[in-house]
Amino acid sequence: MGAVDIVWIDTNIIIYFLRANRDFTPSVKILIDQSNAGMYTLKVTPVVIGECVYVLMGKNFNIKKTDVATLLISFINMKGVEMEEKDVVEKALNQYAKKGVDYADAYIAEHAKAMMSPSILSVNVKDFMKLGISVYTPTELMSTNESQDNGDDKNP
C-alpha cells in the first residue's frame, strides 16, 4: 500500500479527538496535529457529523446541543479537515442548536435549500416549520398534486 494523504474519517476519530479515551485519544491527537501541519487531509461526510451529534448527546457524554454544535463546527473548520457540504452542515448544526430540532431534520432542510428544492415531505410538520421551509404531509402533497392535475385539462 502506498502513501496516504487523503483519508475519510469515521465518527470515532472525531469523538476521540473531542473526548478523552485512554486507548485512542493520544494517537488521534497526533494524527490531527499532523493533519493541521498538512501531512493529511481528513475528509468528513454529513453522515459522520450526524452520528457524532447522536453519540455526543447520548448517555456516555450527555453534552448540550449548543455545545455539540460548537464543538463540531470548530472541528470541521480545522486546518486539514475537509467537510462535504460544509456550508449546509454548519447551517444545520446552528439550526439544530438554536431551534430545538433534530440534527437530521435541520440537515434535510438546509440540504433542500442548497439544492434549490425547498420543500420537505414529512409528518413532522412542526419542526420543519421552525426551519423556514415548505413542508407537506403525504395527504397535503397528494391533495395539492390532484388539484393541479384536475385544473390542467387543457394540456393532453
For the whole model, what pTM was predicted? 0.87
| pLDDT of amino acid 12 | 97
User: Would you put residue 81 in left (φ > 0), alpha (ψ -120 to 50) or beta?
Assistant: beta
What are the phi and psi torsion angles at 20 (to 5°)?
A: -65, 135
Whole-number Å distance between alpha carbons of 39 and 35: 5
Q: Which residues contact 102 (CB under 8 A, 6 or more apart)?
A: 96, 127
pLDDT tier at 154, thresholds 50, 70, 90: very low
Residue indicated by cell numbers 432542510? 109
pLDDT tier at 156, thresholds 50, 70, 90: very low
- In tens, the pLDDT along 67-111 reads 999 999 999 999 999 999 999 999 999 999 999 999 999 999 999
Whether 52 and 63 have beta carbons less than 8 Å apart is answered as no
Residue 64, pLDDT > 90, answer yes
Whole-number Å distance between alpha carbons of 103 and 94: 9
Task: Count CB atoms within 10 A of the CB of residue 10.
Answer: 12
In sign, the C-alpha dihedral spanning 65, 70, 75, 77 is positive
- In tens, the pLDDT along 1-53 reads 567 799 999 999 999 999 999 999 999 999 999 999 999 999 999 999 999 99
